[in-house]
Amino acid sequence: MRHGLVCIALFAPVGGYAAIDGGTVSPAAAMSSDAMLTLTDRDNGRHVQAHVGDELELHLAENATTGYRWAIDNYDAGVIEFVETSASYPDAAVGSGGEAIFRFRVIGPGSSPLALKYWRHWEGAGSIIQRFAVTIDAAR
């Protein structure tokens, strides 16, 4: 089952922009304030360039009524920190899909994997049916 959202955006309070080259997402060189990077399943496997203070918001399609949910699998707590998770299910009908939303903050320079798994936690690792991973390359 393939779920998909269609956007990747970089929001900057002072008018920055995003450049996507060869699988790398990077904020504008002239940007001087913290940014919000929004990632989706289309960013799976990419390197994301960020700066200390930036926030990352990850949107992944899920259908919790199947029992499968996205969960954090791995990240370097010296480079990024987990802020919060939430879910958005606009249609309240049973069986309707929505999305899981994970927020992280870049807290230090370096490179960190950011990996999630789509699974039924009570069934263990054998229930993983999908993975998501990006590498966060953070600069001061």
Q: What is the pLDDT of residue 76?
A: 98
Count of C-beta atoms within a 10 Å radius of residue 15: 9
Residues 100/69, Cβ–Cβ less than 8 Å: yes
Confidence of residue 33 (pLDDT cuts 50, 70, 90): low
Beta strands 69-75 and 110-119 are antiparallel
Count of C-beta atoms within a 10 Å radius of residue 44: 14
DSSP string, 71-117: EEEEE-TTTEEEEEEEEE-S--STT--EEEEEEEEE-SSEEEEEEEE
Domains annotated for the chain, with CATH where assigned, are 9-139 (2.60.40.2020)
Mean pLDDT of 97-126: 97
Q: Model confidence over 43-100: pLDDT tens digits?
A: 999 999 999 999 999 999 999 889 999 999 999 999 999 999 999 988 877 778 899 9
Quote the pTM value.
0.75
Sorted by sequence, the CB contacts under 8 Å of residue 122 that are 6+ apart come out as: none
Distance CA(135)–CA(14), nearest Å, equals: 25
Mean pLDDT of 106-128: 97
Q: What is the pLDDT of residue 11?
A: 34
**Across the chain, what does the average pLDDT equal?**
81
Q: What is the pLDDT of residue 6?
A: 28
Beta strands 9-11 and 18-21 are unpaired
